[in-house]
């Protein structure tokens, strides 16, 4: 899939049109991470590794016992939708996607894609490749954030760059975006109503869609199940 969608990647360093018009879509975040790491390894250059600073928000738990109860290694292990992981790994020339709004006036909104041009210890310099500020340089700082999910007995505070590598992205994250070449990579069945429709509708080129399914017990190679909740249409006259 990577070779099909990102052919001649090493010759397209920093090419805005090349990176903007390609994407690999998959249902689950863990598969997105696997694909992104595989593509990053194909790039020349040094891997840039950034770790978050995680802590428990004061007043959200027992206070004095936080450092004993919730070790940094434990906090680092959490992964949430909408906020970056503890570890971000990429190289100069890789595309990134913003995970939330930073500065709408400068085109830095949730879903904006950029190409990394320089990496500093506490700052990322990048070129905007989507939206109404294409070609402009942006600077991405570390920001404090907390997950929206309330499944923990405390509030996690994570200081990290609000970005993720986006050679691949989840089908849900691709909503609202269109590209010329899409690879639909189905290591597992889609799990939500309409995901297949969303994925295939991202493509603007007549021959720009490639689909790979894995031969598992649930479905045969070349086929997959389209998840539809029939109850939705029960009350339609």
The residue ranking higher by pLDDT, 218 or 1, is: 1
HSE at residue 160, side-chain half, CA atoms within 13 A, is 29
pLDDT above 90 covers a percentage of the chain that reads 39
Report how far residue 83's alpha carbon sits from residue 147's, in angstroms, rounded to the nearest whole number: 7
Q: What's the confidence (pLDDT) of residue 60? A: 64
pTM (2 d.p.): 0.84
Asked if residue 67 has pLDDT above 80, the reply is: no
For 105-157, how does the pLDDT look when each residue is reduced to its tens digit (9 = 90+)?
999 999 899 999 999 999 999 999 998 899 999 999 999 999 887 888 888 89
Asked if residue 218 has pLDDT above 60, the reply is: no
114 to 14, 77, 99, 183, 235: CA distances (angstroms):
10, 27, 12, 20, 44
Q: What's the confidence (pLDDT) of residue 178? A: 86
pLDDT category, 80, cuts 50, 70, 90?
confident
Q: What's the confidence (pLDDT) of residue 226? A: 77
Query: Residue 112 belongs to what domain range?
Result: 2-233
Q: By C-alpha distance, which of 171, 81, 160, 77 is closest to 124?
A: 160
Q: What's the confidence (pLDDT) of residue 148? A: 83
Q: Which range has highest mean pLDDT (65-69, 156-160, 229-233)?
A: 156-160
Structure tokens at 121: 């210890």
Q: What's the confidence (pLDDT) of residue 192? A: 80
Number of domains present in the structure of the chain: 1
Report how far residue 40's alpha carbon sits from residue 6's, in angstroms, rounded to the nearest whole number: 11
pLDDT above 70 covers a percentage of the chain that reads 90
Q: What's the confidence (pLDDT) of residue 65? A: 64
For 96-118, how does the pLDDT look when each residue is reduced to its tens digit (9 = 90+)?
999 989 999 999 999 899 999 99
117 by Cβ neighbours in 10 Å (0-12 / 13-18 / 19+) ranks as middle
Helix (H, G, I), strand (E, B) or coil at 32: helix
H or E, element range at 16:
helix 16-20
Mean pLDDT of the chain: 86
Q: Are 87 and 47 in contact (CB under 8 A)?
A: no
């Amino acid at each position: 899939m990577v070779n099909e969608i990102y052919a001649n990647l090493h010759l397209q360093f920093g090419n805005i049109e090349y990176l903007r018009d390609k994407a690999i879509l998959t249902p689950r975040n863990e598969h997105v991470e696997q694909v992104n790491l595989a593509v990053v390894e194909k790039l020349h250059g040094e891997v840039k590794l950034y770790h978050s600073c995680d802590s428990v928000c004061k007043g959200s738990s027992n206070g004095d016992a936080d450092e004993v109860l919730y070790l940094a290694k434990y906090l680092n292990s959490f992964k949430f939708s909408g906020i970056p992981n503890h570890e971000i790994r990429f190289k100069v020339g890789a595309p990134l996607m913003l995970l939330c709004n930073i500065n709408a006036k400068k085109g830095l909104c949730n879903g904006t894609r950029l190409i990394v041009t320089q990496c500093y210890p506490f700052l990322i310099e990048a070129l905007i490749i989507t939206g109404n500020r294409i070609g402009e340089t942006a600077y991405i700082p570390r920001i404090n954030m907390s997950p929206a999910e309330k499944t923990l007995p405390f509030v996690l505070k994570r200081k990290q760059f609000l970005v993720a590598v986006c050679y691949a992205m989840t089908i849900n994250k691709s909503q609202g975006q269109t590209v010329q070449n899409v690879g639909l990579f189905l290591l597992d069945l889609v799990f939500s109503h309409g995901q297949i429709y969303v994925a295939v509708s991202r493509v603007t080129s007549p021959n720009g869609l490639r689909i790979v399914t894995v031969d598992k017990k649930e479905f045969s190679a070349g086929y997959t199940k389209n998840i539809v909740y029939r109850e939705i249409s029960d009350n339609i006259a």
